[in-house]
Amino acid sequence: MVAYRNLGRSGLKITEITYGNWLTHGSQVENDTATACVRAALDAGITSFDTADVYANTVAESVLGEALKGERRQSLEIFTKVFWPTGPNGANDSGLSRKHIMESIDGSLQRLQTDYVDLYQAHRYDHATPLEETIQAFADVVRQGKALYVGVSEWTADQIRAGQELATQLGFRLVSSQPQYSMLWRVIEEEVVPTSAELGLSQIVWSPVAQGVLTGKYKPGQPAPEGSRGTDEKGGAQMIGRFLEQEETLRRVQDLRPVADELGLSMAQLAVAWVLQNENVAAAIIGASRPEQVAENVKASGVTIPVELMTRIDEVLGDSVVTDPRETEKNSPRR
C-alpha cells in the first residue's frame, strides 16, 4: 500500500503517490476509463487526488467528482486549484482576484460534489492582483470551511515568503507548493525547496516522469510512439516538446536503464522514486490513461535509492538537467 507523508508543517497526511487528472480526464481518455483509473488508484491505496478547475475547462473536476461519488469523504484528500481562465474567458474569469477566487471555489465544490476541498491552491502567481487581496480571499475561504488548507503552484521562493508572511498575519499558513520536478527538471532545488522547508511547506510535485520522457519510450532519432503524449495534439505534444527536441537528453535517459534494472524497477518507477528521495517532497502526482499504469507507478512508494545510485543518475544525466531557478518565474504569466 502507498505510504503517507505529512503535508508541510501541518497535521494533514497525504499519500506520497497522489493521483492527478491533468491532460487526461475530460480530454485524452473517455469518462469510463477515467473512472477505472480512479478506482485503480483507490484499490492501490491512494487517497489523495489532485485536479484543477482549468483542466479540460472544468470537465476534469466533474469527472473526478463523479468517480469518487460514494466514497467516504473523510477518507479522501481532494486538491484543486484556481487561476487560469474558465468559462468564456471574460475579464474576471481568471487570476487571483477576490471575485475569481470566491466564485471559483463554489464552482469547484459543485463539480467535485463535496462541501469542502482539503487543499486549495493558487495555480500561479497573479501579478495583476495585490497579494494582500489574494491572501485575504484564501483566508476567507478557509474560515468559511470551503477549504481546509491552502497551497501554491509554481511560485518563486520570494513569492512564497511574501505569501506566507501575509497568511500568518491573517491566522492561517500556506502548507504546500506544487512545482514541476523530475530528474531532468530540478529548478526548485536551489531556492524553492530550502525556502519551503524553512517556512513549513512541502512540495507536491507534478510531472515526476517528465511527461513520459523518463519512461524511456521516446528514443533518439525515432518518432514518438503512436498514441503517446508526444503525438497528442490536445496539449500533450506541446508540453513534452522541449524534451523531445533534445536528442542528447533522450540518449542519456536510455542510459538510466541499468540503474532501474539494478533496483528491480521500471524506468517510470525509478523516476517517481527519485523525486520521493527529496525530504521536502510530500507527494509525487501521477496520471494515467489506463488503470494498469496506476498499479505500476504505486510500486515506487517506499523505495529507497542508495546514495551511490543517486550519484550515478546525476553522472548519467549530466548537463541535460535543467537547474536554473529563474525558470519558475517564467511560468508566472503577466496578464
User: Exposed, middle or buried: residue 171 (CB in 10 Å: 0-12, 13-18, 19+)?
Assistant: exposed
Query: What pLDDT score does 284 carry?
Result: 98
Is the pLDDT score of 230 beyond 70? Answer: no
Mean pLDDT of the chain: 92
Choice among 132-136, 219-223, 237-241, 329-333 with the minimum mean pLDDT: 237-241
The whole-angstrom separation of Cα 329 and Cα 124 is 10
Cβ–Cβ < 8 Å for 31, 61: no
CA torsion, ordered 305, 309, 311, 314, to nearest 10 deg:
-90
Q: Is the entire prediction scored with pTM above 0.85? A: yes
Query: What pLDDT score does 246 carry?
Result: 83
Is the pLDDT score of 310 beyond 60? Answer: yes
Query: What pLDDT score does 23 carry?
Result: 67
| pLDDT over 90 percentage in the chain | 82
pLDDT of 75-134, one tens digit each?
A: 999 999 999 999 888 999 999 999 999 999 999 999 999 999 999 999 999 999 999 999
The whole-angstrom separation of Cα 55 and Cα 111 is 12
Q: Which residues have a catalytic role annotated?
A: 55
Cβ–Cβ < 8 Å for 63, 31: yes
Cβ–Cβ < 8 Å for 151, 179: no
What distances in angstroms separate CA 12 from CA 39, 70, 74, 140, 205, one per listed residue? 23, 22, 12, 20, 17
Is the pLDDT score of 49 beyond 60? Answer: yes
The whole-angstrom separation of Cα 206 and Cα 200 is 19
Query: What pLDDT score does 29 carry?
Result: 62
The whole-angstrom separation of Cα 55 and Cα 79 is 13
Residue 136 confidence class, pLDDT cut points 50, 70, 90: very high
- DSSP secondary structure string for all residues of 53-105: TTGGGGHHHHHHHHHHTTS-GGG-EEEEEE-S--TT--TTSSSS-HHHHHHHH
Beta bridge partners of 119: 79, 149
Query: What pLDDT score does 294 carry?
Result: 94
Cβ–Cβ < 8 Å for 287, 20: yes
Nearest in space to 134 (alpha carbons), one of 123, 148, 144, 145: 123
Please report, for the chain, the start and end positions of each structural domain, with discontinuous segments joined by +.
Answer: 4-330
Selected from 3.30.465.10, 3.20.20.100, 3.40.50.720, 3.40.50.2300, the CATH number assigned to the domain covering 4-330 reads 3.20.20.100
Is the pLDDT score of 26 beyond 70? Answer: no
pLDDT of 168-227, one tens digit each?
A: 999 999 999 999 999 999 999 999 999 999 999 999 999 999 999 999 988 887 666 665
